């Protein structure tokens, strides 16, 4: 996978991505013991979590090391601290339950077309979903090496991380119940239990370094979509500030399903993140292009349309295929 640390686009983005690829290639591949440990096979579907967890562990390790690279993608906006109490991300259930009720009314993740969805003016845009900026977080985007197709993103906060992926779902049925059942069937060490977002899966996974990583996998169904989150680090195993912050973060995400036809379990298309400023610039450019296109085409052509201002004394000629007959008939 190729990695981009979030930030404004520069000419060095591609070079940094290629350097990250070289580092990934140099890492040791998972052993046969890893594959036989009951973990999910790697892949891009909602059932596959091992490679995703390896990626999340890599981010968590770098956060613990306190490297300089972390600061480049961190959000230290002081305004976010002041607004935390006022934003809808505070609306998250407190008690675990088997069913995640009131999604779309009181709690998120939200659909972009829902009336109660929070204001997304200051959200980061990744195409398939919009995410808020969390003070102190680090955002990384996961993409394929060959095509640079974006597959998801990982948010690192403290010693915890959260991977987020949106999937297409059927119109009438949810997807999380089936995906959760597949995870339990395919991983003998996986267990399920009630959580903040309904039934959640706990899955211990062995990473590339041979360490066991405990993960908490959640799924929330929305209108024709399912949003999956993989929590690792303290946010996966113990209550605390990091757990609450990432739970609220996940609940504040806005999903943009789009009208594109997708098969159930297909990944909803994503793109590299756009800042609020970049979003506004793109919208302004699109608006100007539309106005220029309309002006260039001009008003639609109307046959026989009078030229100049309307004059009430203006006479118009009415053409008809009918001819006028005699005014009267003569009888002899």
Q: What is the pLDDT of residue 299?
A: 54
In this model, does residue 272 exceed pLDDT 90?
yes
DSSP string, 261-283: ---TTPBPP--S-B-HHHHHHHH
* pTM exceeds 0.85 for this model: no
Centroid of chain to Cα 13: 21
Question: What pLDDT, in 10s, does the model give residues 106-131?
Answer: 999 999 999 999 999 999 999 999 99
Lowest mean per-residue pLDDT among 72-76, 119-123, 305-309: 72-76
Lowest mean per-residue pLDDT among 37-41, 118-122, 295-299: 37-41
Q: Say whether 217 sits in a helix, a strand or coil.
A: strand
Q: How many other β-carbons are positioned within 10 Å of the β-carbon of residue 193?
A: 11
State the Cα–Cα distance between residues 88 and 33, nearest whole angstrom: 44
Lowest mean per-residue pLDDT among 158-167, 179-188, 309-318: 309-318
Q: How many other β-carbons are positioned within 10 Å of the β-carbon of residue 116?
A: 14
Confidence at 288, pLDDT banded by 50, 70, 90: confident
Opening angle at CA 239, ends 234 and 243, nearest 5 = 60
């Amino acid at each position: 996978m190729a990695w981009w640390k979030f930030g404004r686009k520069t000419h060095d983005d591609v070079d940094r991505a290629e350097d990250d690829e070289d580092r990934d290639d140099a890492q040791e591949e998972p052993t046969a013991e890893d594959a036989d440990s009951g973990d999910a096979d790697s892949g891009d579907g909602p059932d596959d979590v091992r490679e995703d967890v390896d990626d999340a562990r890599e981010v968590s390790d770098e956060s613990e090391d306190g490297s300089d690279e972390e600061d480049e993608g961190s959000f230290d906006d002081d305004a976010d601290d002041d607004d935390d109490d006022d934003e809808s991300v505070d609306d998250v259930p407190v008690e675990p339950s088997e069913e995640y009720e009131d999604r779309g009314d009181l709690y998120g993740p939200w659909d972009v077309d829902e009336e109660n969805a929070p204001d997304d003016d200051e959200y980061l845009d990744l195409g398939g979903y919009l995410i808020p900026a969390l003070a102190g977080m680090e955002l990384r985007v996961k993409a394929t090496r060959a095509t640079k197709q974006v597959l998801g993103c990982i948010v690192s906060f403290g010693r915890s991380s959260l991977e987020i992926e949106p999937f297409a779902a059927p119109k009438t049925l949810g997807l999380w119940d089936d995906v959760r059942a597949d995870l339990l069937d395919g991983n003998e060490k996986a267990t399920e239990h009630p959580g903040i977002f309904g039934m959640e899966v706990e899955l211990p996974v062995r990473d590339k370094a041979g360490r066991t990583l405990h993960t908490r996998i959640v799924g929330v169904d929305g209108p024709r979509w399912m949003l999956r989150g993989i929590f690792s680090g303290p946010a996966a195993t113990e209550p605390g500030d990091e757990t609450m912050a990432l739970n609220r973060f996940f609940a504040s995400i806005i999903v943009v399903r789009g009208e594109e036809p997708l098969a159930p379990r297909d990944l909803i298309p994503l793109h590299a993140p756009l800042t609020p400023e970049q979003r506004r610039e793109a919208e302004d450019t699109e608006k100007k292009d539309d106005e220029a296109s309309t002006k260039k085409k001009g008003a639609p052509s109307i046959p026989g349309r009078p030229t100049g201002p309307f004059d009430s004394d203006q006479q118009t000629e009415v053409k008809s295929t009918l001819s006028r007959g005699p005014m009267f008939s003569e009888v002899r």
